[in-house]
């Protein structure tokens, strides 16, 4: 059960070509990310368009990631749904496939209360003996896992971390205050990586890491080593990419960027649509200024 979840973990985009998952492109992207210093990979999260992948595709994406990584970095499989029983089954399958940990999002749409949220995550932890990361993203789920609930969840040995995409530094500091001895805090919003690491978080689950893996890894490492001047400089260096990658709904911008970089087609599944026209031109200029696109 021992696993270190820290540094720059990348929420991988899922490549498509002509409507199907492009597994060759996925493997090429994974290899690039590992070679460029990513500290872990997260398939089938929000950035991976898990909501529009079939169950079979999700399994194949997780399997391909595990095979390509081949033990070099942890693989944290996204298994969350708004159906607790289905989430448990996804978690069981991820363990069978060889995932190192699970990313479990707070259930969207249902709007459970805090007791319902607690039982959802606890059910997964009780059933599947893998480290679990609680994904707190109220902007997408319409519910926030509150501090008291996180503290209760932290009592379970399988619940080891929280991905905080609240964008709220006070909430992040309160999470660390209440749960820091038992839960690893990971930034779930690229723009809060440096601030949360300065407060005591251990890393991030990053969208920008798809296009700038070395920069995100360097930023996290500088924070870990308390090189705060270096970390601050890296934060401001990558800040334009943070803005660019969230100029539209994730993962629309990052898939456009990866397409411009030659890693995949600029293709998404409905209801998401590709970036094009003036927005794509603006994105390309941002990538050029940041040195990501030559």
| Torsion sign, CA atoms 257, 74, 149, 224 | negative
The contacts found for 70-74 with CB under 8 angstroms, 24 or more apart, are 72/34, 73/34, 73/38, 73/39, 73/40, 73/41, 74/3, 74/4, 74/5, 74/9, 74/39, 74/40, 74/41, 74/100, 74/101
Closest CA to 22 of 46, 55, 48: 48
Q: List residues bridging with 9 in a β-sheet.
A: 40, 205
Quick check: 216 and 206 in contact, CB under 8 A? yes
Single out the catalytic residue among 23, 95, 163, 265: 163
Single out the catalytic residue among 55, 111, 135, 265: 135
Q: List residues bridging with 185 in a β-sheet.
A: 162
As given in the structure block, the two tokens for residue 145 are 């896992």
Is 163 assigned a catalytic role? Answer: yes
Is 23 assigned a catalytic role? Answer: no
Quick check: 40 and 11 in contact, CB under 8 A? no
Question: What is the maximal distance between C-alpha atoms in the chain?
Answer: 50
Catalytic residues: 135, 163
């Amino acid at each position: 059960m021992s696993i270190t979840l820290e540094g720059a973990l990348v929420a991988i985009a899922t490549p498509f070509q002509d409507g199907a998952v492009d597994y060759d492109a996925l493997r090429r992207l994974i290899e690039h990310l590992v070679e460029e210093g990513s500290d872990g990979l997260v398939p089938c999260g929000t950035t991976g368009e898990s909501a529009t992948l079939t169950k079979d595709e999700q399994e194949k994406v997780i399997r391909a990631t595990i095979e390509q990584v081949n033990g070099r970095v942890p693989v944290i499989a996204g298994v969350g749904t708004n159906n607790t029983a289905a989430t448990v089954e996804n978690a069981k399958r991820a363990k069978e496939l060889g995932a190192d940990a699970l990313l479990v999002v707070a259930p969207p749409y249902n709007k459970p209360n805090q007791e319902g949220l607690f039982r959802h995550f606890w059910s997964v932890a009780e059933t599947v003996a893998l480290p679990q990361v609680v994904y707190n993203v109220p902007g997408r789920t319409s519910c926030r896992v509150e501090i008291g609930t996180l503290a209760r969840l932290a009592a379970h040995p399988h619940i080891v971390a929280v991905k905080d995409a609240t964008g709220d530094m006070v909430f992040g500091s309160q999470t660390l205050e209440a749960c820091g001895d038992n839960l690893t805090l990971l930034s779930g919003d690229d723009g809060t990586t440096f601030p949360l690491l300065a407060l005591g978080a251990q890393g991030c689950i990053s969208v920008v890491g798809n296009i700038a893996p070395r920069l995100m890894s360097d930023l996290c490492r500088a924070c870990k080593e308390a090189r705060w001047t270096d970390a601050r400089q890296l934060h401001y260096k990558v800040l334009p990419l943070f803005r660019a990658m969230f100029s539209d709904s994730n993962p629309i911008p990052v898939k456009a960027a990866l397409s411009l970089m030659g890693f995949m087609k600029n293709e998404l599944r409905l209801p998401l649509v590709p970036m094009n026209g003036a927005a794509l031109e603006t994105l390309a200029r941002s990538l050029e200024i940041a040195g990501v696109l030559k």
